[in-house]
Amino acid sequence: MNWLAHLRLSPSEPLLRLGNLCGDFVRGVDVVALRPELQRGIRQHRAVDAFVDAHPIVRCSRQRLDAPFRRLAGVLVDVFYDHYLARDWDRLGDGRPLPDFAASVHALLREHAALLPPRLVSVLPWMEDQGWLVGYAQIDGIDAVLRRMARRLSRPTPLGEGAAQLRAHYDALAGDFAAFWSELVTFAGALDGG
């Protein structure tokens, strides 16, 4: 799952929630030097990722993608699933409108910036100004996310054109996400993070 799902699946404790986001930003960071709540959130993030990667429904979603994109299928399906979560936020969210949820995440990130990995702090202005979390709800937002990701890679990759795969397999991937989400919520809810 990508950032929106990790944030949604996290307990609401501020540093624990931020730790669930930090999981993608700790390369080169001494994790044991971070606050214990952040460490717990990072462990939860990793447990969710392992569950997702091993799940047969997710593997099925990855296999749906056309051959040139299969090498990137893990990243693409994670982002696509965030699209379905954002699209259906009224039903799957935490009871607040998605823009309100995103605003609360941005506020937490600003408030606790001194405790967070530098890479996460460096993306915060763009995340907030460009509405990344809310943007997941639209396919154009997914297109923008994938193009940003592709620009950060050192090798040429079709990742930036990945939104075409979302369009091509939209209903089938939506069905996979719908079948998978409740299992993921149950799994994440059982995590103790300890």
Spans of all domains in the chain: 3-190
d(CA 125, CA 61): 32
Placement of tokens 């939209």 in the chain: 170
- CA distances from residue 94 to 30, 35, 167 in whole angstroms, order as listed: 32, 25, 27
d(CA 76, CA 151): 15
Cβ pair 96, 107 in contact under 8 A: no
d(CA 71, CA 63): 10
Q: pTM, whole model, 2 decimals?
A: 0.93
pLDDT at residue 193, rounded to an integer: 46
End-to-end Cα spacing for the chain = 21
Query: What tokens were used for 88?
Result: 């259906």
Query: What tokens were used for 98?
Result: 């998605």
Cβ pair 137, 4 in contact under 8 A: no
pLDDT digits (tens, 9 = 90+) for 124-149: 998 999 899 999 999 999 999 899 88
pLDDT at residue 186, rounded to an integer: 95
DSSP assignment, residue 27?
A: T
Of the ranges 21-25, 95-99, 161-165, 189-193, which one carries the lowest mean pLDDT score? 189-193
When pLDDT is averaged across residues 143-156 and rounded to a whole number, the result is 84
d(CA 112, CA 166): 35
d(CA 173, CA 167): 10
Placement of tokens 């971070």 in the chain: 34
Give the count of beta carbons closer than 10 Å to the beta carbon of residue 79. 25
d(CA 44, CA 50): 10
Query: What tokens were used for 82?
Result: 């965030």
pLDDT digits (tens, 9 = 90+) for 19-70: 999 988 888 888 999 999 999 999 999 999 999 999 999 999 999 999 989 9
Give the count of beta carbons closer than 10 Å to the beta carbon of residue 16. 20
